[in-house]
Amino acid sequence: MKTRHVRSLLVIVAALALGLPGATLTDAQSKGTIKIATQTPLSGGQASIGESIKLGVQLAIEQKKAALEKMGFKVELVPYDDQAKPDVGVANAKNIVADKSIFLVIGHFNSGVAIPSSEVYKDVQLTMISPANTNPVVTDRNLLSVNRVCGRDDVQGEVGARFAKDTLKAKSAYVVHDKTTYGQGVAEFFRDSSKKLGIEILGFEGTEEKSNFDPIVTPIKAKNPDVVYYGGIYDTGAPFYKQVREKGVKSTFLGPDGMDASDLVKIAGKTAVGMYYTTAAGPVALYPKAKDFSKSYKEKFKKDPEPYAAEAYDATSIGLKAIEAAIKDAGGKLPSREAISVNVRKTKYEGITGHIEFDGKGDRKKAGYFIMRVVSDDPAKWGDNKLIKQLQIDPPALKK
Based on the fold, state whether residues 190 and 334 are members of the same structural domain.
Answer: no
pLDDT of residue 13: 42
CA–CA distance, 228 with 48 (Å, rounded to integer): 25
Residue 372 β-bridge partners: 277, 387
Other CB atoms within a 10 A radius of the CB of residue 269 amount to 14
- Do 202 and 314 belong to one domain? no
Q: Give the residue among 218, 175, 178 at the shortest CA–CA distance from 200.
A: 175
Range 58-82 average pLDDT: 97
pLDDT at 64 over 60: yes
Instruction: Tell whether 7 is covered by a domain.
Output: no
**Does one domain contain both 222 and 195?**
yes
In this predicted structure, the answer to whether residue 386 has a pLDDT above a threshold of 90 is: yes
d(CA 76, CA 72): 13
SS3 152: coil
Amino acid present at 16: L
Question: Which residues face 355 on adjacent strands?
Answer: 350
pLDDT digits (tens, 9 = 90+) for 121-166: 999 999 999 999 999 999 999 999 999 999 999 999 999 999 999 9
Give the SS3 label for residue 164. helix
Q: How far is it, in rounded angstroms, from Cα 76 to Cα 199? A: 50
In a shared domain, residues 35 and 145: yes
Tally Cβ neighbours within 10 Å of residue 394.
12
Work out how many domains the chain is built from and give that number: 2
Both 298 and 271 in a single domain? no
Q: pLDDT tens across 315-364, in order?
A: 999 999 999 999 999 999 999 999 999 999 999 999 999 999 999 999 99
pTM of the full structure: 0.90
Nearest to 160 by CA among 391, 394, 398: 391
Question: What one-character DSSP code corresponds to residue 160?
Answer: H
Is the residue at 259 inside a domain? yes
**Same-domain status, 194 and 46:** no
| 327 & 294 share domain | yes
> Could you tell me the CA-to-CA distances from 353 to 37, 245, 293 in Å, in that order?
21, 35, 11
Residue 351 within a domain: yes
Whether the pLDDT of residue 10 is over 70: the answer is no
Q: Is residue 2 part of a domain?
A: no
> What is the Cα–Cα distance from 263 to 238, expressed in whole angstroms?
8
Q: How far is CA 385 from CA 72, 123, 370, 373, 382, in A?
A: 44, 42, 11, 6, 6
Establish if 12 belongs to a structural domain: no
**372 and 314 part of one domain:** no
The reply to whether 265 falls in a domain is yes
Q: Are 237 and 272 contacting, i.e. CB atoms less than 8 angstroms apart? A: no
Query: Distance between CA atoms of 154 and 168, rounded to whole angstroms?
Result: 20
Residue 90, Cα to own-chain centre: how many angstroms?
A: 18
What are the strands, taking DSSP E only, across the chain? 32-40, 73-81, 102-107, 127-130, 146-148, 172-177, 200-206, 227-231, 252-255, 276-279, 349-351, 354-356, 367-373, 386-393
- Claim to verify: residue 118 and residue 58 sit in the same structural domain: yes
Q: Which residues contact 397 (CB under 8 A, 6 or more apart)?
A: none
**What is d(CA 117, CA 107) in angstroms, rounded to the nearest whole number?**
10
Q: In the prediction, which pLDDT does 212 show?
A: 93
Sheet strands (E) in 116-224: 127-130, 146-148, 172-177, 200-206
Complete DSSP assignment for 274-336: T-EEEESS--GGGSTTHHHHHHHHHHHHSSPPPTTHHHHHHHHHHHHHHHHHHHHHTTTSPPP
Structural domain boundaries, residue 176: 154-279+368-393
pLDDT mean across residues, the chain: 93
Domain contains 187: yes
Same domain, 256 and 385: yes
pLDDT at 284: 84
CATH number assigned to the domain comprising residue 92: 3.40.50.2300
13 part of a folded domain: no
C-alpha to C-alpha distance for 60 and 39, rounded to whole angstroms:
16
d(CA 123, CA 372): 39
pLDDT at 5: 46
Which residue has better confidence, 206 or 288? Answer: 206
pLDDT at residue number 135: 97
Residues 141 and 161 in one domain: no
- Are 238 and 331 contained in the same domain? no
